[in-house]
Amino acid sequence: MTSSAECRMMIAAWRGLAVTGVVALAAAVSGGRAQTPASQPSSASAVTTRYTRLVADDARTPEEARRLTAAGAKYLLSAQEADGGWGAQAGVGVASLALKALIQEPTVGPQHSAVRRGVEFVLKSQRDDGGVYSAEGLYKNYESSVALSMLSALKDPAYEKPAAALQKFLKDNQWDEGEGKSPADPFYGGAGYGQSKRPDLSNTQMMVEALHDSGLPPDDPAYKKALVFIQRCQMLGETNDQAFARGSTQGGFIYSPVSIGESKAETEDVEGRTELRCYGSMTYAGFKSMLYAGLKHDDRRVQAALDWMRRNWTLEYNPNMPEKQSRQGLFYYYHVFARALEAWGDPVVQDRAGREHVWRQELVEQLAKTQRPDGSWVNEADRWMEGLPSLTTAYALLALQAAYPGSE
């Protein structure tokens, strides 16, 4: 699989080659990497075409991404309040997402006074148990997860102690034997919110991402426990032991396996049966989490999710959500989309119709169309707080930064 760093190295190498040299390099690349359903060039010519497109992409798209993120960061700086946060409604969760985006933005960076003020604002909410969350305590996992990812992005030894406490809090907060749950229980391995902490994939993927970002080794038991829960969110009967998934071959993901299962996209008819409906934001979240939890690219669960993604490729809306809800959670989707495909490692994804997508370029083009004159983004389909420009702008910046991590 081609990592983003390897991709950049290949692009740089190509700039100094003649056409014959390009063909030779393409042939070498084709012979030197495992082929997957997302990337199956049948000849050196096919590989040449793909990487020629990447060279063209490299000449334009990263610069456009930098322009977008610089404008978005300028908006976030202007929207920050005197206390270092982004308003009472946003809380420490949105503050952490916005801060991570600013930390990773070259025109701002971790030493900026606004960043330091924001970090102080977030850490005022660190509790005795190590978690970072508001006084109500309803979003302990979400707020602690994004706070840990933010502190990890600082790469500052001064914050190692609060980061370590957060990492321990998230592991302790995970549903497992410590809460009286065995691997047979649908709660097992997950994380949730509210007083009951009922687990869901959104909270669980945030936890897994935070543990990954903070450098938790991939063989840590927390990932293996999480994988038990994540697998039960996948509509794939051959590996999901829950009754609602029996016989399903969709391969995508739903919100939660608890009780009879729950999908925010409701249900749909699949080959004459009513099944819980998979949708884009949860499918990319599940796909990413499986990779972070150590599953290999050829694992059946990974390939089934990838196949769903190829069948439902779009950046115009949250894939496979019912039409009236299709733009709900759209910026959350952009964020998990970029993180997932960056983790996957292939710069080109082929959809089921055979069309090849340079996903970084398509993401930049989509976000360029929707950025507002003040540098912000907002989702008019205001669900899950996406009517809050500080949140949607943070999601957009984080997506672009995942696509072009070398720009940080």
Domains defined for the chain, CATH in brackets: 80-216 (1.50.10.20)
Q: Which residues contact 344 (CB under 8 A, 6 or more apart)?
A: 1, 38, 287, 291, 297, 306
Q: What are phi and psi of 256, to 5 degrees?
A: -155, 145
| Residue 94: alpha-carbon gap to chain centroid | 16
CA distance 367 to 64: 10
DSSP state at residue 184: T
- pLDDT score, position 48: 58
What's at 278, amino acid-wise? C
Q: 379-385 contacts: CB < 8 A, separation 24 or more? A: 379/327, 379/328, 379/330, 379/331, 380/327, 381/325, 381/327, 381/328, 381/330, 383/325, 383/328, 383/329, 384/328, 384/329, 384/332, 385/89, 385/94
Do β-strands 356-358 and 348-350 pair in parallel, antiparallel, or remain unpaired? antiparallel
DSSP state at residue 262: B
- pLDDT score, position 394: 98
Beta-bridge mates of residue 200: 191
Mapped onto helix, strand or coil, the DSSP state of residue 43 is: coil
Token pair of 117 as six digits: 């003020």
For residue 155, give the nearest of 104, 206, 197, 83 by alpha carbon. 104
Token pair of 197 as six digits: 């902490």
- First and final C-alpha spacing in the chain: 23
- pLDDT score, position 196: 84
- pLDDT values of the chain reduced to their tens digit, one per residue, 408 residues: 444 454 545 444 433 333 333 333 333 333 333 344 444 444 555 555 655 655 555 567 899 999 999 999 999 999 999 999 998 788 999 999 999 999 999 999 999 999 999 999 999 999 999 999 998 888 999 999 999 999 999 999 999 999 999 999 999 999 999 999 999 999 999 999 987 899 999 999 999 999 999 999 989 999 999 999 999 999 999 999 999 999 999 999 999 999 999 999 999 999 899 999 999 999 999 999 999 999 999 999 999 999 999 999 999 999 999 999 999 999 999 999 999 999 999 999 999 999 999 999 999 999 999 999 999 999 988 788 898 999 999 999 999 999 998 654
Residue 324: half-sphere exposure toward Cβ, Cα within 13 Å: 1
Kindly report the three-state secondary structure assignment for every residue of 315-354.
CCCCCCCCHHHCCCCHHHHHHHHHHHHHHHCCCEEECCCC
Beta-bridge mates of residue 132: 126
Q: Which residue has the tokens 């490729």?
A: 313
For residue 176, give the nearest of 162, 165, 191, 164 by alpha carbon. 191
Burial label, 270 (beta-carbon count in 10 A; 0-12, 13-18, 19+): middle
For residue 7, give the nearest of 366, 290, 344 by alpha carbon. 344
Residue 376: half-sphere exposure toward Cβ, Cα within 13 Å: 18
Token pair of 198 as six digits: 């009922």
CA distance 189 to 23: 48
For residue 324, give the nearest of 266, 273, 395, 373 by alpha carbon. 266
- pLDDT score, position 160: 97
For residue 232, give the nearest of 183, 174, 279, 179 by alpha carbon. 183
- Cβ-count burial 116-155 (b if 16+ within 10 Å, e if not): ebbbebbbebbeeebbbbeeeeebbbbbbbbbbbbbbbbe
Contact predicate 54/358, CB 8 Å = yes
Indicate the pTM of the whole model.
0.88
Q: What are phi and psi of 243, to 5 degrees?
A: -60, -35
CA distance 51 to 46: 9
- pLDDT score, position 52: 61
What's at 188, amino acid-wise? Y
- pLDDT score, position 273: 92
Contact predicate 384/80, CB 8 Å = no
